[in-house]
Amino acid sequence: MSLGTSGASLARRRASPARRRGRLLLAACVVAALIVAANLPAVKSLLPADLWREVPPVVALHPIVAEKMKTLKAESEALGIRIAITDGFRSEAEQDALYRKGRSAPGDIVTNAKGGQSYHNYGLAIDFAIRTKQGKVLWDTAYDGNRNGKSDWMEVVGIAKRLGFSWGGDWESFPDYPHLQMDFGLTIGELQRGHRPTEDLRLAEEWARQAGSEA
């Protein structure tokens, strides 16, 4: 009986190194799979970007958005339409203050987005209005200041879409008529996790050009 027990114990000891090697191999495979998965674009977009790089705070409009804004103003003016950019980059604190309007602060409700939930907070959106020859700023979407039988507002929207902007007036729920944005294919959730448009301005420009051609 003692001999049988001793033999079984010896067999277990001999098997232990093999089991340990098997477990180590399995763990290594799992780690490798996780590393590969984390680098797949679809998976990577679900993870916080600061896991693999530093995410600097956004403090201004993205360079391509700023450039397209200038082009929008110039092309609108060539049609006899002057526009006023009423908002661009907006901090999360400013967004929260705007969200409180019509809720816990006086005024009308103008947004459903809290801080961090707007493309303005990531430098990817602008708001515009029409400026008359007298300098008055209008949010009248039917105004025809250049007297060509077309809405100045919609002429500006047409130019903006060609430049790669999407228009908040196309939103089915809570349309935002002054709002123009370039999301570069990023959702708000991805932006909140620290993902940002490409730092390669050539690629960002190509994205904007393609978005404009599809508008």
pLDDT at 122: 98
pLDDT at 190: 95
Beta bridge partners of 85: 128
DSSP state of 127: E
For 78-101, the pLDDT digits (tens) are: 999 999 999 999 999 999 999 999
Identify the residue whose tokens are 């508008």.
215
pLDDT at 37: 53
pLDDT at 107: 94
Of 87, 81, 96, the residue nearest 130 (C-alpha): 81
Q: What is the mean pLDDT of residues 111-132?
A: 97
- pTM for the full model? 0.78
Query: What b/e readout covers 49-77, taking b as 16+ CB neighbours within 10 angstroms?
Result: beeeeeeeebeebbebbebbbeebbebbe
Q: Is the pLDDT of residue 7 over 60?
A: no
pLDDT band at 23 (very low <50, low <70, confident <90, very high): confident
Q: Is the pLDDT of residue 39 over 60?
A: no
Q: What is the mean pLDDT of residues 34-40?
A: 55
DSSP state of 113: -
pLDDT at 201: 85
Q: What is the mean pLDDT of residues 206-211?
A: 91
pLDDT at 1: 45
Q: Is the pLDDT of residue 173 over 70?
A: yes
Residues 6+ apart with CB under 8 A from 64: 182, 197, 201, 204, 205, 208
Token digits of residue 126: 């602008």
